[in-house]
Amino acid sequence: MNRRLCTLLLSLVVLWTVGAGAARADEGKRVHNAMQIVFSPSMTYPFCTIGAVGTDKYGHRIAISAGHCIRDAAYADREIHDDVAPVYDRADTGFGPIGYVRYFKDPEGSQTGHPTKDYMIIELVPQVTLSSQGPYLKQTGVLKVPGGTASPNAPGPALDTERLLATGANELVVSGQTGVWFGTVMDNTGGIYRSAAANLTGDSGGPAVWHVPGSELPSQDNGFQASGPWAGITKAITLSFPPFEYTSSANILADLRARDAAAPKGVYGAGFEVTTNP
């Protein structure tokens, strides 16, 4: 089972952060879904991918990726207020950090003990511009499923954003290294969607949107573009069929709300909304 784990040594990252302190203040650098990210400017492989970009209820500028992209037991499963874990655009590490990791699930927990909570919260720096438009996918808000089955992470009563897509009648459209793919949600175990929509190692954390019935699917005729509300992030390639797993946005948003309610000062990412910036 390929779980695509990236190793992050935070002690080394701190040194790299000091060295990158004079990062270019290129205002307007666009950060968007499907942007590939790394955690050291000297290591552009392995890498992960951004799944969604927006803001939280506290006004923080947020990007979301997969929790299993980082391994460091000293920082897992807690808020990281210090800038010890920078995140770089893989295609432009010279810019300096585009943001800093504020929370991630321990990879062992994410893949075994906490399979429904495999996510990472990144606070973006002021020098970047948030965008809802990735190379292939335009995200039109956050998926809401009125009356659907609640995520197992949802406090009661669950919000519409914390409810899950039904299997067999819904499609995911995903974006990664090999372009854009779509496939029916064939299984939903604990808010982890299984679909034939393909991904590769490095696509972890990348975007998945819901195919709105009646809207165009990506094709050569429309430049392989698609739009829809954010529905989740790439999680894993497994030995099951179909092999591709996606952590639902419902799971992530529900866990953020539950953690926020338990934290005296709140948590980064709570109340996340996808940016409306083009």
Dump pLDDT digits (tens) for 199-257. Answer: 999 999 999 999 999 999 999 999 999 999 999 999 999 999 999 999 999 999 999 99
Return d(Cα 116, Cα 189) in angstroms, integer: 9
Buried b (16+ CB within 10 A) or exposed e, 226-247: bbbbbbbbbbbbeeeebbbbbb
What integer is the mean pLDDT of 78-85? 97
Using pLDDT thresholds of 50, 70 and 90, give the confidence band for residue 136: very high
What is the per-residue pLDDT for 121?
A: 98
Return d(Cα 65, Cα 158) in angstroms, integer: 23
Using pLDDT thresholds of 50, 70 and 90, give the confidence band for residue 113: low
As a whole number, the mean pLDDT across the chain is: 90
Going along the chain, which residue ranges are E strands? 29-31, 36-38, 48-49, 52-55, 61-65, 86-89, 99-104, 120-124, 128-130, 137-142, 171-176, 179-189, 192-195, 207-210, 226-237, 244-248, 273-274
- Domains in the chain with CATH codes: 10-130 (2.40.10.10), 137-252 (2.40.10)
Return d(Cα 231, Cα 172) in angstroms, integer: 8
What is the per-residue pLDDT for 208?
A: 98
What integer is the mean pLDDT of 19-25? 38
Using pLDDT thresholds of 50, 70 and 90, give the confidence band for residue 12: very low
Dump pLDDT digits (tens) for 173-215. Answer: 999 999 999 999 999 999 999 999 999 999 999 999 999 999 9
Using pLDDT thresholds of 50, 70 and 90, give the confidence band for residue 9: very low
Return d(Cα 254, Cα 270) in angstroms, integer: 9
What is the per-residue pLDDT for 27?
A: 53
Structure tokens at 235: 């999680």
Three-state secondary-structure class, residue 18: helix
- Cα dist from 237 to 158, 189, 195, 196, whole Å: 29, 15, 10, 10
Return d(Cα 139, Cα 151) in angstroms, integer: 21
What is the per-residue pLDDT for 108?
A: 62
Q: What are phi and psi of 277, to 5 degrees?
A: -65, 140
Using pLDDT thresholds of 50, 70 and 90, give the confidence band for residue 115: confident
